[in-house]
């Protein structure tokens, strides 16, 4: 031990005086116990499993089930069982109900043969010219007044 | 009280640790046997009950073996064992207290009554124990490791997993507290010293 101060030495004497001499018999018993400790030692996980047999049983059950399920999948294929998706059957649709199957009559008066030509058929003027109505005239005084008013 | 180990002793100890890790009971016995007295002293100090102290040492040995894979050779084996014993003894004492609280009936005296001198010694030991048990865990462990296990500050630091500086402060605080608590006993212990009022 490193150097002790006087105060510490006094405490040390008090501790020594009240420690009592260990009996040889007890020390022998403890030494014999020590020799058996490695043999008695059980890993923590084993001890844990021993203390909880129900949990161990459940764990074993889940493991067996998982293994069994793993085996049943390829077995089903070997037996030629149908895949679950084979049960999905497409329902037949009547031809008269299928919009893509309808035939267009030759003499349909509402049919537009050439949509682009129809756009030009507006008295010689493009229907896009109607958009000019929305154009703002350059000399719109009211708009100028409003713009001025909105300036910060 | 402290035993400085030589290089050969440390090598032999390392060899025993290796064999004990592999499950050699005899090696483990040889490893711990030189320290059993100290372990029993610590456990008896805290429990003041021979049976409980023996149980605490047995628990210490079991824990020491279980943690042997994590034992580092730079820690002296005595410090390693004493550190576990100081904690384990108090854990058992606490459990025993709880058990006694649960049990209804008269409390058994911890030390059997005997001749006057024996009774006085037992009373002194009880006072020392009471002072120790009132201390915070770390401080109590530091005091036990210093005064009962006779460890150096460095070894106390290794046993407690702290720095040497922290161990020094911890021991200093613990001994100061003990001196204050046990002042009357210390005066009796050394009658030539003038008492400080």
User: B8 vs A92, which has greater pLDDT?
Assistant: A92
Structure tokens at A50: 């021993």
The answer on pLDDT for A6 being more than 60 is: yes
* B174 Cβ under 8 Å from any chain A Cβ: no
Amino acid A68: pLDDT: 80
* B54 Cβ under 8 Å from any chain A Cβ: yes
Q: Using alpha carbons only, what angle is made at residue B66 by residues B60 and B68, rounded to the nearest 5 degrees?
A: 95
pLDDT, tens digit, 9 for 90 and up, residues B34-57: 999 999 999 999 888 888 889 999
The answer on pLDDT for B112 being more than 60 is: no
pLDDT, tens digit, 9 for 90 and up, residues B4-39: 556 666 678 888 999 998 889 999 999 999 999 999
Confidence band, pLDDT 50/70/90 cuts, at residue B143: very high
Amino acid B170: pLDDT: 92
A37 contacts in chain B (CB < 8 Å):
25, 28, 61-62, 65
Question: Quick one: B121 exposed, middle or buried, by C-beta within 10 A (0-12, 13-18, 19+)?
Answer: middle
CA atoms within 13 A on the CB side of B191: 0
B150 contacts in chain A (CB < 8 Å):
1
Is this complex's ipTM strictly greater than 0.85? no
* Beta strand ranges found along chain B (DSSP E): none
Amino acid B174: pLDDT: 93
Structure tokens at A23: 């009996």
* Dihedral (CA of A11, A12, A16, A17) sign: negative
Amino acid B78: pLDDT: 92
Can you tell me the distance from the alpha carbon of B27 to that of A143, in angstroms, rounded to the nearest whole number? 105
**Least confident stretch, B102-106, B138-142, B148-152:** B102-106
Percent of chain A with pLDDT over 90: 7
Amino acid B43: pLDDT: 92
B25 contacts in chain A (CB < 8 Å):
34-39
The distance of Cα A66 from the centroid of its chain, to the nearest Å, equals 22
* B45 Cβ under 8 Å from any chain A Cβ: yes
Amino acid A23: pLDDT: 78
Candidates B23, B147, B184, B186: best to mutate against A (most CBs of A within 10 A) is B147
Candidates B22, B27, B34, B54: best to mutate against A (most CBs of A within 10 A) is B54
Contact in structure between B159 and B166 (CB atoms under 8 Å) = no
Candidates A12, A17, A35, A45: best to mutate against B (most CBs of B within 10 A) is A35
The answer on pLDDT for B177 being more than 70 is: yes
Q: Using alpha carbons only, what angle is made at residue B30 by residues B29 and B32, rounded to the nearest 5 degrees?
A: 65
Confidence band, pLDDT 50/70/90 cuts, at residue B166: very high
Contact B61 A1 (CB under 8 A): no
A26 contacts in chain B (CB < 8 Å):
40, 50, 54
Q: How many angstroms separate the CA of residue A63 from the nearest CA in chain B?
A: 30
Percent of chain A with pLDDT over 70: 72
The answer on pLDDT for B197 being more than 50 is: no
DSSP string, A10-78: HHHHHHHHHH-PPPHHHHHHHHHHHHHHHHH---HHHHHHHH-HHHHHHHHHHHHHHHHHHHHHHHHHH
* B66 Cβ under 8 Å from any chain A Cβ: yes
Residues 6+ apart with CB under 8 A from B80: B64, B71, B158, B159
* B67 Cβ under 8 Å from any chain A Cβ: no
* φ, ψ of residue A90 in degrees (nearest 5): -80, 130
Amino acid B125: pLDDT: 86
Can you tell me the distance from the alpha carbon of B53 to that of B60, in angstroms, rounded to the nearest whole number? 10
Can you tell me the distance from the alpha carbon of B62 to that of B78, in angstroms, rounded to the nearest whole number? 15
Annotate A54-66 with three-state secondary structure.
HHHHHHHHHHHHH
**Least confident stretch, A72-86, A88-102, B74-88, B178-192:** A72-86
Can you tell me the distance from the alpha carbon of B144 to that of B128, in angstroms, rounded to the nearest whole number? 11
* φ, ψ of residue B5 in degrees (nearest 5): -90, 140
Percent of chain B with pLDDT over 90: 46
Confidence band, pLDDT 50/70/90 cuts, at residue B153: very high
pLDDT, tens digit, 9 for 90 and up, residues A60-88: 889 888 888 766 666 667 677 777 777 77
Amino acid A139: pLDDT: 75
**Averaged over A32-36, what is the pLDDT?**
93
Structure tokens at A35: 């020799």
User: B44 vs A53, which has greater pLDDT?
Assistant: B44
The residue behind tokens 């059980």 is A42
């Amino acid at each position: 031990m490193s150097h002790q101060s006087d105060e510490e030495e006094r405490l040390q004497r008090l501790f020594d005086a009240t420690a009592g001499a260990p009996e040889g018999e007890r020390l022998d018993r403890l030494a014999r116990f020590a020799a058996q400790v490695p043999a008695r030692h059980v890993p923590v996980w084993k001890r844990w499993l021993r203390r909880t047999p129900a949990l161990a049983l459940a764990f074993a059950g889940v493991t067996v089930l998982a293994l069994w399920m793993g085996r049943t999948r390829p077995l089903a294929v070997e037996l030629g069982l149908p895949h679950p998706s084979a049960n999905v059957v497409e329902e037949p649709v009547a031809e008269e109900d299928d919009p893509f199957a309808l035939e267009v009559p030759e003499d349909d008066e509402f049919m537009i043969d050439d949509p682009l030509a129809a756009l030009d058929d507006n008295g010689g003027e493009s229907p896009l010219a109607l958009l000019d109505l929305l154009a703002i005239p350059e000399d719109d005084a009211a708009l100028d007044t409003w713009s001025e008013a909105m300036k910060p | 009280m402290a035993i400085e180990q030589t290089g050969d002793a440390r090598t032999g100890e390392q060899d025993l640790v290796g064999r004990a890790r592999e499950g050699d009971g005899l090696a483990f016995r040889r490893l711990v046997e030189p320290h059993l007295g100290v372990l029993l002293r610590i456990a008896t100090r805290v429990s003041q009950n021979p049976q409980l102290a023996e149980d605490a040492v047995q628990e210490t040995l079991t824990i020491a073996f279980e943690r042997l894979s994590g034992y580092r050779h730079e820690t002296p084996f005595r410090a390693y064992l004493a550190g576990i014993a100081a904690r384990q003894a108090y854990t058992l004492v606490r459990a025993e207290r709880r058990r006694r609280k649960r049990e209804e009936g008269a409390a058994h005296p911890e030390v059997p009554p005997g001749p006057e001198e024996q009774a006085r010694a037992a009373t002194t030991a009880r006072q020392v124990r009471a002072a120790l048990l009132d201390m915070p865990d770390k401080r109590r462990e530091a005091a036990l490791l210093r005064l009962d296990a006779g460890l150096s500050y460095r070894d106390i630091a290794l046993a407690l997993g702290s720095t040497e500086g922290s161990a020094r402060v911890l021991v200093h605080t613990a001994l100061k507290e003990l001196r204050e608590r046990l002042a009357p006993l210390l005066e009796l212990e050394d009658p030539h010293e003038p008492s400080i009022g």
